[in-house]
Amino acid sequence: MEEKKIIFSGIQPSGYFTLGNYLGAIKNWTRLQHEHNCIFCIVDMHAITVRQEPKNLRQRTYDSFVQLISCGLDPEKALLFIQSHVPAHAELAWLLNCYTYMGELNRMTQFKDKSSRHSENINAGLYTYPSLMAADILLYQTDMVPVGEDQKQHIELTRDIAIRFNNSYSPTFVVPEGYFPKAGARVMSLQEPDKKMSKSDENVNAYITLLEEPSVIMNKVKRAVTDSDNQVRYDIKNKAGISNLIDIYSSITGKSIQDVEKEFSSTGYGQFKNAVGEAVVEILSPIQKRFKELSKEKDYINQLIKEGAQKADSRSYKTLNKVMRKIGLYQVK
Ligand code: ATP
Ligand code: LTN
């Protein structure tokens, strides 16, 4: 049997989870938890690199935890916790900041993109975001990081930091690999299909959240930007909108792109969009049902949140202490 790997991934409570988050990340996580040693984290400290309304952030963090469980993550199988509850993340992030070059951070496309969208608040946290992400991953001696394709660059940087540290001292960190899903790795905005679907998009029609009403989902898919040739054909360059809908449909149903093209070869966009909308409604409906039931169980959820933090705390300190020792920070035994 294949050896169990340590898997780590994170998601920001910067908005309500989208179909992109689900198909690109969470859906994979639910599968991986049965095969590996999985750790999934709600990265609230990453979310504050962009201004958040305190009340909303608090509620969304709780709801994010409930949503992960509603999507099928099992706290008995995977370790689930909230990043700010485990101080080792911020501590290692500081240490790793001292092993990360400004030249490297300057190249990060997520930083460039977010700083142009939030030009009134280009803070140092937004800039050093990747060192905190590297800390998240490296603390747990992670082998594999399942993420959407937008995170490729951050994973590369994490590897570079780990290799640099290992070479400067002695082997300390496992050098992790990114793990990208074959389908759904890059779900695009429904309004600007050359941009990824993002939960913090200002235009609510650009994304579908996991908790959206069926009628709203159907409407958003109907209004998705397409082209005028009315042929369901995959062509990212010239038909980005339709290609995105084909990707979504293919990722949900498990059908290949060719089969989807065949299935809709004689129908127009209207019928195809209907099918896509229905597939989305169907996949989200059990998640929404569980969310409604579970979010009322506040004591139970809070207990799970506490237990997750305790487990993560004791696991993360091992690596943090090792790093401090290697660097030469004075420690009393
Ligand atoms: P924000 O818009 O606030 O930056 P986000 O929607 O991009 O947030 P994150 O919390 O940063 O989401 O990402 C959580 C996970 O979801 C990551 O693994 C990321 O790669 C994946 N992901 C995010 N957006 C998409 C998308 N459009 N398609 C596929 N995967 C995605
Ligand atoms: N940067 C990621 C979220 C994230 C993450 C992580 C993902 C923070 N820490 C550790 C994987 C592993 C994002 O924006 N999607």
CA 264 to chain CA centroid, nearest Å: 31
What CA–CA distance (Å, rounded) separates 182 from 184? 7
Q: How far is CA 268 from CA 209, 231, 311, in A?
A: 26, 6, 53
For 193-204, the pLDDT digits (tens) are 999 999 889 999
Confirm whether 199 is a catalytic residue: yes
Average pLDDT over residues 130-134: 98
Radius of gyration of the chain (CA): 21
Q: How many CB atoms lie within 10 A of CB 94?
A: 12
The one-letter amino acid code at 99 reads Y
Contact (CB, 8 A) for 232 and 265: yes
- Determine the Cα–Cα distance for residues 233 and 236; give it in Å rounded to an integer: 9
From residue 163, give the alpha-carbon distance in Å to each of 15, 169, 222, 316: 33, 10, 48, 19
Query: Going by CA atoms, what residue is nearest to atom 16 of ligand 1?
Result: 21
In the set 196, 220, 239, 273, the catalytic residue is 196
- The CB of 108 under 6 Å from ligand 2? The reply is no
pTM here is: 0.94
Query: Mind listing the pLDDT tens digit for each residue in 182-239?
Result: 777 789 999 999 999 998 899 999 999 999 999 999 999 999 999 998 999 999 999 9
CA 283–ligand 2 middle distance (angstroms): 24
Per-residue confidence (pLDDT) for residue 85, from 0 to 100:
98
Q: Distance, CA 300 to ligand 1 centroid (Å)?
A: 28
Rounded to the nearest angstrom, the distance between the alpha carbon of 328 and the centre of ligand 1 is 37
Nearest to 130 by CA among 84, 97, 173: 97
Give the pLDDT score at 234.
Answer: 96
Q: Pick the closest to residue 181 from 144, 218, 129, 210 (CA basis).
A: 144
| Digit-coded pLDDT (tens) for 47-84 | 999 999 999 999 999 999 999 999 999 999 999 999 99
Q: Is the CB of 151 under 6 A from ligand 2?
A: yes
**Beta strands 79-82 and 6-11: pairing type?**
unpaired
Q: Which atom of ligand 1 is nearest to the CA of 15?
A: 3
φ, ψ of residue 177 to 5 degrees: the values are -110, 145
Strands (E), 172-291: 177-179
Nearest to 123 by CA among 51, 33, 24, 15: 51
The model's confidence at residue 333, banded by pLDDT at 50, 70 and 90, is confident
Measured distance CA(279)–CA(30) in Å, rounded: 19
The atom number, within ligand 2, closest to the CA of 154 reads 1
- Does the C-beta of 17 come closer than 6 Å to ligand 2? no
Q: How far apart are CA 310 and CA 314, in angstroms?
A: 6
CA gap 19, 200 in Å, rounded: 13
Instruction: Compute, in angstroms, the gap from residue 96 CA to the centroid of ligand 2.
Output: 16
CB within 8 Å of 4: residues ≥ 6 apart: 35, 36, 37
